A and B are shown apart, each in its own frame.
Chain A
């Protein structure tokens, strides 16, 4: 069974740091790009960061650029999100998601087809 399990969430003061992890199983982790998506309480989905299958390319939303770093550990089939200089507005449930490709008519389309259950981050003094 394809599964993603996040961990590492918790409560932290503004300016603090947290490292989220996402353990992947049931698929060949090294073949897929991965992403983090967050959802603040009562709000919509916000894309946070993505990393290519090789780890060579990373992308981040402007709201977290320079503060959050996405990485992957192929030896442990694990995705990470290092979050520094946390702010109250970073309070959210953080989901990891598998980016899957589908090639049709010569074009490759990506989509998030597997999601973890999320881990909660609360930033408050």
Chain B
């Protein structure tokens, strides 16, 4: 099975900073990748699908890129409300594995 990894596992950044999270698949998955945000105590929320397509209603400061095995989620100008754990997920075929998550906190 294809394994999904994320780095870093956690990060601390200041409001207004640009934050980049990396997701890597152990084998190529084209651009069949989604990103989710889970705020503390809340339900996961879809941010991006097809590696770079922003879900309706998601702020444009979130951008996704990548294809094959390497993907990135970028938060341009981090906001207080972006404190959350971010997960990538492979969506090409079962098993639809999630990455281990990246926790983002405010410095």
A contact set with B: CB distance below 8 Å: 35, 37, 44-47, 50, 59, 61-62, 95, 102, 104, 109-113, 115-118
Q: CA A46 – CA B96 in complex, angstroms? A: 9
Q: CA A110 – CA B90 in complex, angstroms? A: 10
Decide if B98 touches A46 in the complex (CB within 8 Å): yes
Decide if A116 touches B87 in the complex (CB within 8 Å): no
B80 contacts the other chain (CB 8 A): no
Decide if B49 touches A115 in the complex (CB within 8 Å): no
Q: CA A112 – CA B31 in complex, angstroms? A: 16
- Chain B nearest CB from A54 CB (Å) reads 16
Decide if B101 touches A45 in the complex (CB within 8 Å): yes
Decide if A112 touches B43 in the complex (CB within 8 Å): no
With A47-B89, A102-B53, A104-B53 known as contacts, the answer to whether A115 contacts B44 (CB < 8 A) is yes
Residue A45 contacts which of B32, B50, B94, B98 (CB distance < 8 angstroms)?
Answer: B98
In the complex, the number of residue pairs spanning A and B with C-beta atoms less than 8 Å apart equals: 67
B contact set with A: CB distance below 8 Å: 1, 31-32, 34, 36, 38, 43-46, 49-50, 53, 55, 85, 87, 89, 91, 94-101
Decide if A59 touches B43 in the complex (CB within 8 Å): no
Dominant secondary structure of chain A at its interface with chain B: strand
With A45-B101, A112-B34, A113-B46 known as contacts, the answer to whether A35 contacts B96 (CB < 8 A) is yes
Decide if A95 touches B53 in the complex (CB within 8 Å): no
- Taking CB atoms, residues of chain A closer than 8 Å to B101 are 44-45
Decide if A45 touches B91 in the complex (CB within 8 Å): no
With A45-B87, A47-B89, A47-B95 known as contacts, the answer to whether A95 contacts B44 (CB < 8 A) is yes
Residue B98 contacts which of A47, A59, A104 (CB distance < 8 angstroms)?
Answer: A47
